[in-house]
């Protein structure tokens, strides 16, 4: 089945600016040194040239069919020459894994939940123009809340939706919420999460770049931005809204249901972290 990422524009923007997001982590070398057996970095010469040109840190992975993979040579050649995306890439860009969605531990049932999951998949797959399915990606719904119809007209409460998955041995959780008292629904949020998640995966992992989700130095919990987001989270909490800010966390045995990960890396196998980090990504 072919797929199109409805967040294609987000992905193209992401490719052009991701170097500005993680300069302190940038590295032009793509040779894997001191990594676990089978773990490597991108070997495609055009993708290596892009990594070097844009001074981006390479993704770590064990080659397998579930990894996102951009294969359009015109697109890759333009990226390798300029360090950015230029012009049209044509009809077919590459491959993306099919989503396998696991329910959350509680309250993930009923028509509203099924509609939200369908919206997540729709946002991720889009209309099938640029990408084809290959392999599988396991995600688990972490946050799901739907306001009752009679509370939507009141100035408190919010719908929420978010998922977790494993990358480079860490648990990545991506969530969104409606504005308190706003009209946005869990379906809307889920569709947006799916599109944005797919866009970043395609245009980072798909070209051998480490996703901005995995950065611990570009941490949204620090500085003025961190103070603002923390204050918003506190205010939301007063209205009973759960904190769904995107984050990465150390993997535990409780996360084994997210395996195998699309990058083939096991829990805490490479560059392990010891605490939760809120993450700052262009697409979230």
Q: Which pLDDT value is given to residue 284?
A: 57
DSSP secondary-structure letter at 256?
A: G
Q: Is the bond preceding residue 260 a cis peptide, omega within 30 degrees?
A: yes
- The answer to whether residue 230 is domain-embedded is yes
* Residue keyed to tokens 């991506």: 174
In tens, the pLDDT along 2-20 reads 444 445 544 544 454 444 4
pLDDT exceeds 80 at position 55: yes
In tens, the pLDDT along 217-232 reads 755 445 444 444 554 4
**pTM for this one?**
0.83
What's the rounded Cα separation, in Å, for the pair 99 and 133?
9
- The answer to whether residue 270 is domain-embedded is yes
Packing angle, helices 186-203 and 111-125, rounded to 10: 30
Handedness of CA 17, 22, 27, 33 (dihedral sign): negative
- The 3-state secondary structure of 159-179, one letter per residue: CEEEEEEEECCEEEEEEEECC
- The answer to whether residue 101 is domain-embedded is yes
Lowest mean pLDDT among 93-107, 160-174, 209-223, 262-276: 209-223
- Pick the residue with more confidence: 10 or 65? 65
What's the rounded Cα separation, in Å, for the pair 77 and 207?
11
The number of domains in the chain is 1
- The answer to whether residue 220 is domain-embedded is yes
Q: Which pLDDT value is given to residue 222?
A: 53
Res. 127 pLDDT band, cuts 50 70 90: confident
- The answer to whether residue 191 is domain-embedded is yes
Q: Which of 61, 69, 66 is nearest to 44 (CA)?
A: 69
pLDDT exceeds 70 at position 44: yes
- The answer to whether residue 90 is domain-embedded is yes
Q: Which pLDDT value is given to residue 33?
A: 61
Cβ within 8 Å of residue 94, ≥6 positions away: 68, 69, 70, 71, 72, 130, 131, 132, 202, 206
Lowest mean pLDDT among 2-11, 115-124, 128-137, 254-263: 2-11
Range of the domain at 75: 2-278
Which residues on neighbouring strands pair with residue 171, listed in sequence order?
A: 166, 249
First-to-last C-alpha distance (Å) of the chain: 27
Res. 107 pLDDT band, cuts 50 70 90: confident
Instruction: Summarize the confidence of residues 86-101 as an average pLDDT.
Output: 83
Stated as kind and residue range, the H or E segment containing 145 is strand 131-145
Q: Which pLDDT value is given to residue 216?
A: 80
In tens, the pLDDT along 233-264 reads 444 444 555 899 999 999 999 999 999 999 99
- The answer to whether residue 284 is domain-embedded is no
Res. 27 pLDDT band, cuts 50 70 90: very low
């Amino acid at each position: 089945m072919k797929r199109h990422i409805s967040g294609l524009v987000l992905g193209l923007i992401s490719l052009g600016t991701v170097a500005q997001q993680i300069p302190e982590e940038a590295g032009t070398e793509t040779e894997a040194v001191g990594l676990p057996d089978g773990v490597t970095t991108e070997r495609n010469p055009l993708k290596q040239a892009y990594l070097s040109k844009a001074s981006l840190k390479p993704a770590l992975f064990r080659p397998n069919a579930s990894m996102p993979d951009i294969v359009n040579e015109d697109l890759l050649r333009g990226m390798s020459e300029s360090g950015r995306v230029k012009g049209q890439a044509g009809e077919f860009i590459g491959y993306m894994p099919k989503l396998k969605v696991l329910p959350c531990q509680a309250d993930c049932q009923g028509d509203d939940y099924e509609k939200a999951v369908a919206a997540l998949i729709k946002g991720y797959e889009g209309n099938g123009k640029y990408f084809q399915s290959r392999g599988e990606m396991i995600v688990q719904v972490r946050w799901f809340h739907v306001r009752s119809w009679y509370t939507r007209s009141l100035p408190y409460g919010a719908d929420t939706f978010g998922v977790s998955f494993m990358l480079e041995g860490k648990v990545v959780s991506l969530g969104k919420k409606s504005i308190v008292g706003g009209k946005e629904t869990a379906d809307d949020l889920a569709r947006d999460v799916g599109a944005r998640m797919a866009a970043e995966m395609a245009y980072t992992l798909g070209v051998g770049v480490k996703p901005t989700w995995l950065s611990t130095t570009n941490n949204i919990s620090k500085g003025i931005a961190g103070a603002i987001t923390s204050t918003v989270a506190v205010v939301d909490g007063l209205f009973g809204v759960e904190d769904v800010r995107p984050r990465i966390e150390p993997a535990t045995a409780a996360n084994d249901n997210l395996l195998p990960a699309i990058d083939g890396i096991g829990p805490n196998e490479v560059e392990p972290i010891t605490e939760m980090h809120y993450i700052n990504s262009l697409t979230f």
